[in-house]
Chains A and B, each alone.
Chain A
Amino acid sequence: MEEQKDAGTKAPIDRHQAAKADGGPFKSVWHFFSSLKLTVVLLIILALVSIIGTIVAQDDPMKNMDMLTSIFGQSGAPAALKLMVALKLTDMYHSPWFVFLLLMLSLNIIICTIERLPRVIHMVMKKQEPLTDATIKNMALRKEIKIKGDMDAAALKAAAAMKSMGYSPNEYRADGEIQYFAEKGKFSRLGVYVAHISVLIIFAGALIGSFWGYKGYAQITEGNTIDKIGLTGKPLLMHVGSEMPLPFQVRCDKFTLKLYQGTEMPSAYLSTLTIIDHGNNVLTKTIRVNDPLEYKGIRFFQSSYGISPSEASMTIRAIATGPVFNVHDYTLKRGETTTLEGSNITMTLSDFSPDVAIGPNNQVVGRSDQFRGNAAALLNFSAPGGKPIEQAMILSQEPQSQPKNVPFTFSITGYNGPYYTGLQVTHDPGVSIVWLGCTMLVLGILIAFFIFHKRVWIRIVRSDKGQVILTAAGSINKNRSVFEAEFGRLIDKLETRQ
């Protein structure tokens, strides 16, 4: 059954090769797409071109510029980037040429299926026939056993043996002949078509998603409500601009950041969201990563968090270095002023950032909105009457940087404010179709690989010499070695029960 070594060098001819010569252009296009070689070539081309998109950044032009600069140098990089963009390599998987390849593959699958499926359905629908004297001789797996006793006893044995192997035999009686035959797993021949059609279903689901679905982002401060989102992906059929109104409102009741006990590592991000539809609170759910909220086909995913910069406040600790020792914490919002306890100096928190980096020229650059020990505060000090004394930058990382003319040392001890939760918002009407396709794909592959169409026949005849001769025969559509063992067990049963 399986050829040894390089059968490929004497590869099978495409069945349609011969027919290619005659027929019009439609026929030749049809033949082109009905070729299984095209399938292999397309699969390999798709694999090869897909590599490009894993090297060229798909979302980040700066990254590509960096990479090209290091390869082609400062002078060559812009031209190379231009070429990259012209070939659509920076958004490769949505480029016309990649879509074209997928379209070719789809056509290939469709035409191959149309070419072959009717024949297979016919084969599956066809009833198993008893074998004749001539056809039984052609069976690859065949065994003759001479039986003592009469035909009916042999028939009983044969039927019992088949039943014990899990077959339900059909009986056929003719003049001087009894035959039992049965088959298993004939529908497995359809598995390969289920697998191939499922690929088309997945494509269809993906198309529906990209035409009628959308992706967006929303930031909601605790206690606030939103009724629109900013779009991040471009939906193909919905020209709604960069913002899209939601058909309902979403309120963030609370955001919680849970840490692993005794560490700084986050263990969970939790947002309690309430959906308000026509003024009614219809749904409240605490979402976390991996557990989104869904309402009217729109889903909200936990994506990021932070303290709302506009409403944040910072706590500054002032320790008097003067004659009277005292410690005071002042919590201020941006631009707020207070009088330092034990003096008549006023302090204004002009600006602050919870997380900064110090640049090469000593400039302070805001880095993120997470408070983790790199905060900075810009303080302005004034004498009574508003006469400025000095301005000072307080940095968590550099405690020695302090004002010179104020008898206090300052440090940053807190950063507070209402949290905002960052939500990924998606709507994808194609997703259930994709899952349907995926399920079919797995089932189809499993059926195609691991279920076989097995057929067995046992024919009992009386020979010229009056002996009862039992002939067992079997066939399988693939994996013959496994079937040979099963067939051997059947023969054993027929022989040992004598």
Chain B
Amino acid sequence: MNYELNITFFKIATLTYLFAMVFYLGYLAFRNQAVGKIASGITYLGFLCHTASIGTRWWESYQMGAGIGHVPITNLFESMSLGAWTIVLIYIIVEWRYKNRTFGAFVMPVTFLAMTYIFVAPDVSKDIEPLVPALKSYWLYIHVLTSFLGYAAFAVSFGVSLMYLIINTQRKDSFYGFWTACLGALSVIVLAIAADWATLPDIQGKHMLEATFRNPSAGVQALSWAGYAVILFLIYMFGIRLKSALGKFQTSSDLLDEVGYKTVAMGFPLLTVGIITGAVWANKAWGTYWGWDPKETWSLITWLVYAAYLHARLTLGWRGRRASVLSVFGFFSVIFTYLGVNLLLSGLHSYGSTGGQIDKTAIPFLLIFAAFFAAYVGVCWILDAGSRKSAGHQVASEK
């Protein structure tokens, strides 16, 4: 007997999210309330299917017998499906709470991308697998659930912050370069995954991005990088149109700024609990609450970046664009903690990943991340120092 009802629901949900994304984009372009309502309706439908997918997977794991049954959050496919589910859940809450549908155009692509990625990625197994003994612990559920709720809150903050940046930059700003580069990188990854899916006949045993950036042929690799450059250039050239499309919406920048902050304020305690429950669990399983395993370290890096965000915002008065950029960096760190560590680094968290050696492609990626981040903070620091000399006022922390 096949236990694939959950996969069917998963496929339907993914497709539904795609439609929701199209309608949200349409809503953004035409500002038609009816289109917006349809987009929301489709999102609810997708969310229901997604919930059904997780529910049936849970149920099906018990149908398999032999003590295999467990909550479906134990391999990359299951955890990422849950992650996407949480993002949609938080988005639905935000949409309902703030009566604003514009964020949908930013959140749904992230969700759709995550869902498509786990469905097509060759490294990700979609089978229901028995738990290895180390994963048999209640702490697993608390740890994964809190971490994921936190990640999802950060994802919403990322989408909203990116939108803030798009609306509030001029072409001559350095921030314009920043958000077009981010959007360009995201688009390239989507296209590269699509290329994997389209061109590799048998994707089992192949690596992610093998059709493009990691192609055995140097020519194809060079072509991929050239394509990357072209896409970056195009987005840089025409990004200003996206700004004017969004600008027509008259979404309040203050609202975006506030949502960007509040979602971080929600995510930060959740991430903290996620890290701590992970430590409690590690202490129960291995007798060490902290071992500087790459996953642990990266979760700490993410925690530090968001801690810096909160301190900069609450005590140094970094708001608006500055805070948004920090939130974007924070989310890159989240993605790396979640995916990059499993796929590129090795360590104790390698369940269901390719495992083994450190992948050298990780190194330039990490160096670029670190360099940009350091440069950004450095520039802000210099600007602050400059303004301190010229200005002579003080902003009270509480008014």
B398 pairs with A13, CB closer than 8 A: no
The answer for the CA separation of A226 and B141 in the assembled complex, in Å, is 36
For the complex, give the distance between the alpha carbons of A36 and B316 in Å: 7
Bound-state CA distance A292–B398 (Å) is 50
A429 to chain B, nearest CB (A): 13
Shortest C-beta distance, B162 to chain A (Å), equals 16
The distance from the CB of A33 to the nearest CB of chain B, in whole angstroms, is 15
A54 interfacial contact with B, CB 8 Å? yes
- Alpha-carbon gap, A428 to B291, bound state (A): 13
Closest A-chain residue to B312, C-beta based? A40
Chain A residues positioned under 8 Å from B393 (CB to CB): 10, 13
- B354-369: CB near A (< 8 Å → 1, else 0) gives 0001101011001001
Q: Is A140 an interface residue (CB 8 A)?
A: yes
Chain A 301-330 interface mask (CB, 8 Å, partner B; 1/0):
111000000000000000000000000000
Interface size class of chain B, counting residues whose CB lies under 8 Å from the partner chain: 35 or more
Contact yes or no, A6 B272, CB < 8 A:
no
Task: Using known A-B contacts A41-B381, A47-B301, A289-B136, determine if residue A424 contacts B66 with beta carbons closer than 8 Å.
Answer: no
In the complex the two chains form, is A449's CB within 8 Å of B265's CB? yes
Contact B360 A12 (CB under 8 A): no
Assuming the contacts A36-B315, A267-B130, asked whether A3 and B395 have C-beta atoms less than 8 A apart, the reply is yes
Q: What are the residues of chain A within 8 A of B308 when measuring CB–CB?
A: 40, 43-44, 47
B287 touches A260 (CB 8 A): no
A245 to chain B, nearest CB (A): 19
Q: Contact check: which of B257, B287, B398 meets A299 at CB < 8 Å?
A: B287
Once the chains are docked, how many angstroms separate the CA of A299 from the CA of B132? Answer: 22
Cβ of A39 under 8 Å from chain B: yes
Q: Which residues of A contact B253 (CB under 8 A)?
A: 4-5
Q: Does A392 contact B (CB under 8 A)?
A: no
Q: Is B238 an interface residue (CB 8 A)?
A: no
A445–B357 Cα distance when bound, in Å, is 37
- Segment at the B interface, from A335-343, A349-357, A434-442, A466-474: A434-442
A contact residues around B280 at 8 Å (CB): 435
**Can you name the residue of chain A whose Cβ is closest to the Cβ of B362?**
A55
Neighbour of B373 across the interface among A41, A48, A267, CB < 8 A: A48
A55 touches B366 (CB 8 A): yes
Q: A57 in the interface, Cβ–Cβ < 8 Å?
A: yes
Whether the pair B345, A290 counts as a contact (CB closer than 8 A) is no
Do A12 and B394 contact each other (CB < 8 Å), given the known contacts A44-B304, A48-B370, A445-B269?
yes
- In the complex, per-residue mask of A267-301: 1 if CB is within 8 Å of any chain B CB, else 0: 11100000000000000000011111000000101
> How far is it, in angstroms, between the C-alpha of A457 and the C-alpha of B394 when the chains are bound?
29
A361 at the interface (CB under 8 A from B): no
Give A1-44 as 1s and 0s: 1 = Cβ < 8 Å from B's Cβ atoms.
11111111111110101000000000000000000110111011
In the assembled complex, which residues on chain A have CB atoms less than 8 Å from the CB atom of B358? 55, 57, 63, 67
Chain B residues touching A, majority SS: helix
Q: Report chain B residues within 8 Å CB of A446.
A: 269
- B134 contacts partner chain A, Cβ-Cβ < 8 Å: yes
B387 pairs with A11, CB closer than 8 A: yes
* Nearest residue, chain A, Cβ from B137: A290
Residues of A within 8 A of B322 (CB): 6, 8
Q: How far is the CA of A70 from the CA of B360 in the complex (A)?
A: 9
A431 in contact with B289 (CB, 8 Å): yes
> Does chain A have a CB within 8 A of B320?
yes
A485 to chain B, nearest CB (A): 12
Q: Is the CB of B319 within 8 A of A442?
A: no
A446 to B387 alpha-carbon distance, docked (Å): 34
A423 to chain B: closest residue by CB? B287
B360 contacts A71, CB within 8 Å?
yes
> Closest residue to B68 on the A side, CB-wise?
A260
Interface contact B289-A434, CB-CB below 8 Å: yes
* B163 in contact (CB, < 8 A): no
**Which residues of the partner chain B approach A263 to less than 8 Å between Cβ atoms?**
66, 130
- Known contacts A7-B320, A40-B308, A438-B276; 6 additional CB pairs below 8 A are A6-B319, A37-B381, A54-B341, A140-B399, A261-B65, A301-B285
Can you report 11 A-B residue pairs in the complex whose CB atoms are below 8 A from each other?
A7-B395, A8-B384, A13-B392, A17-B388, A47-B301, A48-B374, A50-B304, A54-B366, A269-B133, A290-B136, A441-B272
Which 9 A-B pairs have CB atoms at the shortest separation, nearest pair first?
Answer: A426-B287, A47-B304, A261-B66, A12-B395, A43-B308, A5-B320, A290-B137, A54-B294, A289-B133
